[in-house]
Amino acid sequence: MANNAEEIKKFLRARRDAVRPSQVGLANYPGRRVPGLRREEVAQLAGVSVDYYTRLEQGRLTSASEGVILSIAEALRLTPAETQYLRDLLRPQPRRGAEAAPPQQVRPELLRMLNGLHDQPAFVLGRRNEVLASNDLLDALFTPFNHRPANERNLLRWMLLDPAARSLYLDWAQVTSEVVGVLRAEAGRNPDDPQIAAFVAELRAVSSEFRTWWAERTVVERTWGSKRFNHPVVGRLDITYEALSLPGDPDQILFVYAGKTDDDLGKLRILASWYAQSVLHRAAGKDTAQSQPDEAAGQNSRHA
C-alpha cells in the first residue's frame, strides 16, 4: 500500500469526485469543470478552512482530530466503513514496522463447530482474505479449499482468477468488487504489512478488474447480507449470511451461510450428499466427473 500521505491524497480526491453537488444541496450550474465537489466546497461543508483541507488532501497533513474526521466524513457522505478507513489513515495505530504478521491459526474448538454445521456452509476468513478453515458444505459450494495447499486458499484470488467462480456467482462483479473493498479496509488498518502490499501487487499484475476496483478506493466492511449462486450441481441457490467477528481473534471472521428458503435448504442438503459421495469416490480412486451430471439431474428432478 502507498504511504499514508499518498493514500490520504488519493482517497480524499476519489471520494470528493464521487459526490455530486446536488447531493449536498449545492447548485450544479452549466460549465462546471469538476465532476464532484471543489475543495473549497468540502471545506465549507466540513467547517474547516480551505487552506487546512487543501493541505490535508495534498497529503501535507497526516493526522486530524476525531471531530475533523467526522466533519469531513459527513461532507463527503462517507459510509461507516469509509469513515473508519479515513480514521485509520489520519489516526493510524502504532506502527509495527515492515514485518510480516505471524501465521494465523483457527482454534480447535472453532474447527469442531464448523464441522458440526451440516446444513450451513461456513468458513473462517483471515487477513488478506485467506480461507483459514472451512466445512465440507462450503467446499462443495465454492471449491475444495481444505484440499488446496495453504498458499492457494485465498478467497479473493479464487474469485478473480478461477473461471468457475465467475460462473458460480450470479452477481460476480458486484460481489468481487465488494471483497476488493474489504481488502482496502484491511490495508488501512495495517498500512505497513508487507504481505498485504505484496498481495495487492500480485493482483494488480494479473487482474484488470482488480486494478480498476482498487483504484476506485471503495471501502467495505463485512456484516451480513445475501448472495445468489448458479451452482453446477443444484442450480439456482439463494443464501443469507452473517459475518461474525471472533472475540480474542480480531483478524478472523466467521462466515455462516444459510438457505434463504426451504427450497434453498433442500438444495444445500442435496449438495452435502453429493459432496460426501464425491469424497468417497475420490478416496476410492474413481472419477466423479462423469457421474456428477446424471446424479445431480436426478436429485434436482426429485426436488423441483
What does the pLDDT look like over 125-156, one tens digit per residue? 998 899 999 999 999 999 999 888 888 899 99
Q: State how far the Cα of 90 lies from the Cα of 183, in Å rounded to an integer.
A: 18
Q: Which CATH code fits 108-302?
A: 3.30.450.180
Q: Model confidence at 289, in pLDDT bands (50, 70, 90)?
A: very low
Position 91 scores a pLDDT of 77
pLDDT of residue 24: 81
Taking phi over 0 as left and psi of -120 to 50 as alpha, with beta for the rest, 222 belongs to beta
Work out the average pLDDT over 191-206: 92
| Higher-pLDDT residue of 50, 28 | 50
The pLDDT value given to residue 28: 66
Which range among 61-65, 103-107, 261-265, 300-304 shows the weakest confidence by mean pLDDT?
A: 300-304
Lowest average pLDDT, out of 86-95, 151-160, 185-194, goes to: 86-95
φ, ψ of residue 55 to 5 degrees: the values are: -65, -35
CA 290, CA 107: separation in Å to the nearest integer? 38
Identity (one letter) of the amino acid at 87? Answer: R
Average pLDDT over residues 211-220: 94
Percent of the chain with pLDDT over 90: 62
Architecture of domain 4-90: Orthogonal Bundle (1.10)
Task: Look at residue 302 in the predicted model and tell me its pLDDT.
Answer: 33
CA distances in angstroms from 204 to 30, 33, 211, 215, listed in the order given:
37, 31, 5, 10
The SS3 assignment for 171 reads coil
Q: Longest Cα pair distance anywhere in the chain, in angstroms?
A: 72
Query: Which of the four pLDDT bands, split at 50, 70 and 90, describes residue 29?
Result: low
Q: How sure is the predictor about 2, in pLDDT bands with cuts at 50, 70 and 90? A: very low
Q: Which pLDDT does position 297 carry in this prediction?
A: 39
HSE at residue 144, side-chain half, CA atoms within 13 A, is 9
- Position 5 scores a pLDDT of 86
Q: Name residue 273's beta-bridge partners.
A: none
Domains of the chain, by residue range, sit at 4-90, 108-302
Q: Cell 481488502 sits at which residue?
A: 183
Euclidean distance between CA atoms 300 and 209, whole angstroms: 34
Would the pLDDT of 116 be above 50?
yes
Q: Does residue 95 surpass a pLDDT of 70? A: no
Q: What is the 3-state secondary structure (H, E, C) of 3-46?
A: CHHHHHHHHHHHHHHHCCHHHHCCCCCCCCCCCCCCHHHHHHHH
Question: What pLDDT shows up at residue 303?
Answer: 34
Same fold, 4-90 and 108-302: no
- Most confident region among 58-62, 96-100, 235-239, 285-289 by mean pLDDT: 235-239
* pLDDT reported for residue 94: 56
Residue 213 has pLDDT above 60, yes or no: yes
